[in-house]
Amino acid sequence: MKVAFLVAPEGVEQVELTEPWQAVTDAGGTPELVSTRTGRIQAFDHLDKADTFPVDRTVPEVTVAEYDGLVLPGGVANPDFLRLDPQAVAFVKGFFDGRKPVAAICHAPWVLVEADVVRGRTLTSWPSVRTDIRNAGGTWVDEEARVCTDGPNTLVTSRRPRDLKAFVRAFTAEFSKVAS
């Protein structure tokens, strides 16, 4: 299973990147860090700078067809930067158009709202994103991890770092169905 992790050059919540990344690796998959710029991305521990991570490839260099699934880590700034980048938004929408699974945690559903893919779906997020989800035609629920299956398209969402164990269990189970 090859999984794209889409992040902005800065602002990703480190644990929301590293724990899902490790879960993909532990499941025998290949994670790839995709960003809007080359170099290294700056992760954060809430509002404090944390580690940096090397970018494997940039959005213009990749296609949805290369991946079995997409993970959108959160952080407050990360999805806000991504939703302002038309190529990043198109990349996310491409996973829905291609009926490939997507997993998003915390504030990451902002990118889903921008890609116009939440209408008619039930999902969860950090509580401050709920109004955006509702305004985009989605149904927001307060759950640890939510799996929304729409035909062959699966969306896994979660609220916060504290829910990472449930998020990781849910998305790795769903992604492994596609990769097998």
**pLDDT value of position 178:** 82
**pLDDT value of position 110:** 98
Which residues are paired to 18 by β-bridges? Answer: none
**pLDDT value of position 153:** 81
Q: Which domain CATH number covers 81? A: 3.40.50.880
- The answer, as to whether pTM is greater than 0.95, is yes
Sign of CA dihedral 42, 84, 3, 122: positive
Q: Count of domains in the chain?
A: 1
Which range marks the domain in which residue 154 is found?
2-179
- Edge to edge, the sheet with strand 102-105 lists 57-58, 30-35, 2-7, 69-72, 102-105, 153-158, 145-150
Please list the pLDDT of the chain residue by residue as tens digits (180 residues).
999 999 999 999 999 999 999 999 999 999 999 999 999 999 999 999 999 999 999 999 999 999 999 999 999 999 999 999 999 999 999 999 999 999 999 999 999 999 999 999 999 999 999 999 999 999 999 999 989 876 668 999 999 999 999 999 999 999 988 865
Which residues are catalytically annotated? 107
**pLDDT value of position 150:** 67
